[in-house]
């Protein structure tokens, strides 16, 4: 049983000396092992430790040597690594936070920025786009169809234009109601094209200037025994007296091209008459082929034509 004097805290020097004694015992396994089964083990260890320190010129009191032997038996001054577990893992993470903290901080900041951009920028942007598309399909495009239809109805001088515009509008609104934006936009484009066609006012004339052919003939690929005759024309605006660029269908390719000059297929006698007119003095006196009046869809031809047109020759 410890006495009151023994319960008092030891001076720091004595504690350090006792730790050194324990360390000596731990490194002298042979010294400890020889005394394991001896009844006087503690006293023999003290005696041998005294000799070891004496040889080093260090005088250690027996009380300190005894405390060292007891501390060895009690595993004092011995570090026992903690067992694994969540607590140990968290402690190690905390201790090594400087090595991984910046990376984790950067990742967290990046994740927050991405999340912020997604929730506060991308999602509102997509929602705004969806709402704009909904308004366009339910209101804007149908209203535009109605506006163009009213213009066509007011300005046309032929019923066929109204019928055609009504058909475009019906199909366009059905597409808009079904969420088919390309179909609705196509209807608007067709109606606008119809209105533009009605509003044109020009004279179709045979081209008669240097460097430009006034006519030509070709052999059609489908029938090389036949010959197609064309006169080259241009549309001169009544309002500006300038040549217009118009959408013309090429009967050889089926494509529609915007051109300022194109060929109109005519009978051979019309072609020969134009050829003779130009050969006479280099000027084509009878150069008017037809007239397109405001409010009408088609050209009113003043010479016989065969209905075909080409854009390249």
Tell me, yes or no, whether 138 and 223 share the same domain. no
Co-location of 218 and 244 in the same domain: yes
For residue 31, give its domain range. 10-73
209 and 304 co-located in one domain? yes
Q: Are 252 and 299 part of one and the same domain?
A: yes
On whether the CB atoms of residues 290 and 235 are closer than 8 A, the answer is no
In a domain, 106, yes or no: yes
Q: What is the pLDDT of residue 64?
A: 78
Predicted confidence pLDDT, tens digits, the chain (313 residues):
444 444 455 454 666 766 676 666 666 655 555 554 555 667 777 777 777 777 777 777 878 777 777 766 665 555 566 666 777 777 777 778 878 878 888 898 999 999 888 888 888 888 888 888 889 999 999 999 999 999 999 999 999 999 999 999 999 999 999 999 999 999 999 999 999 999 999 999 999 998 899 999 998 877 777 899 999 999 999 999 999 999 999 998 899 999 999 999 999 999 999 999 999 888 999 999 999 999 999 999 999 999 899 999 9
Q: Convert 87-132 into a string of H (helix), E (strand) and C (coil).
A: HHHHHHHHHCHHHHHHHHHHHHHHHHHHHHHHHHHHHHHHHHHHHH
Instruction: Give Cα 278 to chain centroid, integer Å.
Output: 61
Q: Which two tokens stand for residue 307?
A: 């209905």
> Model pTM?
0.61
Residue 78, domain member (yes or no): no
Are 120 and 182 contained in the same domain? yes
Q: Out of 164, 199, 234, pick the residue that ends a domain.
A: 199
Residues 266 and 232 reside in one and the same domain: yes
> What secondary structure letter does DSSP report for 208?
-
Residues 156 and 248 in one domain: no
**Alpha-carbon torsion 223, 224, 225, 228, what sign?**
positive
Q: What does each C-alpha distance from 173 to 129, 145, 312 come to in angstroms? A: 21, 8, 37
Please indicate, yes or no, if residue 83 is contained in any of the structural domains: no
272 & 195 share domain: no
Asked if residue 86 belongs to a domain, the reply is no
User: Helix, strand, or coil here: 247?
Assistant: strand
At residue 84, the pLDDT reads: 64
Residue 197 has what pLDDT?
96
Q: How many domains does the chain have?
A: 3
Asked if residue 79 belongs to a domain, the reply is no
Could you tell me if residue 45 is inside a domain?
yes
Task: Return the exposure string of 143-175: e unless at least 16 CB atoms fall within 10 Å of the residue's CB, then b.
Answer: ebbeebbebbeeebeeeebeebbeebbebbbeb
Mark whether 240 and 187 lie in a shared domain.
no
Asked if 237 and 181 sit in the same domain, the reply is: no
Q: At what angle do helices 141-155 and 181-199 cross, to 10 degrees?
A: 20
Do the domain assignments include residue 5? no
Give CA–CA dist 265/251, Å, rounded.
Answer: 10
Name which of 177, 150, 180 is nearest 165 in CA terms: 150
Residues 194 and 216 in one domain: no
Q: Is residue 89 one of the residues assigned to a domain?
A: no
C-alpha to C-alpha distances, 147 to 154, 169, 170, 178, nearest whole angstrom: 11, 10, 14, 21
| DSSP secondary structure string for all residues of 91-102 | HHHHHTHHHHHH
User: Which of the listed residues 167, 199, 231 is the one where a domain comes to its end?
Assistant: 199
240 lies in the same domain as 299:
yes
Domain boundary among 199, 215, 240: 199
């Amino acid at each position: 049983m410890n006495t009151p004097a023994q319960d008092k805290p030891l001076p720091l020097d004595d504690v350090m000396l006792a730790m050194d004694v324990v360390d000596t015992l731990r490194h002298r396994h042979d010294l400890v092992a020889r005394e394991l089964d001896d009844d006087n083990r503690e006293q023999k260890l003290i005696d041998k430790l005294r000799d070891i320190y004496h040889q080093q010129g260090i005088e250690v009191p027996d009380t300190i040597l005894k405390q060292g032997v007891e501390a060895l038996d009690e595993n004092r001054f011995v570090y026992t690594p903690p067992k694994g577990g969540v607590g140990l893992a968290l402690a190690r993470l905390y201790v090594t936070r400087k090595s991984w903290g910046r990376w984790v901080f950067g990742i967290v900041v990046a994740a927050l920025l991405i999340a912020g951009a997604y929730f506060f920028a991308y999602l509102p942007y997509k929602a705004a786009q969806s709402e704009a598309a909904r308004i366009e399909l339910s209101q804007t495009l149908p209203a535009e169809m109605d506006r163009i239809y009213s213009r066509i109805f007011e300005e046309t001088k032929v019923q066929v234009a109204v019928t055609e515009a009504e058909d475009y509008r019906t199909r366009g609104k059905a597409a808009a109601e079904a969420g088919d934006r390309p179909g609705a936009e196509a209807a608007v484009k067709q109606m606008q094209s119809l209105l533009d066609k009605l509003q044109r006012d020009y004279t179709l004339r045979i081209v008669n200037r240097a460097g430009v052919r006034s006519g030509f003939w070709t052999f059609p690929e489908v029938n090389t025994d036949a010959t197609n005759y064309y006169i080259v024309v241009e549309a001169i605006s009544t309002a500006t007296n300038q040549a217009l660029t118009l959408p013309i269908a090429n009967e050889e390719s089926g494509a529609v091209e915007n051109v300022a000059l194109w060929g109109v297929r005519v009978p051979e006698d019309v072609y020969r008459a134009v050829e003779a007119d130009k050969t006479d003095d280099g000027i084509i006196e009878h150069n008017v082929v037809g007239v397109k009046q405001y409010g009408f869809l088609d050209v009113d031809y003043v010479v016989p034509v065969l209905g075909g047109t080409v854009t390249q020759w």
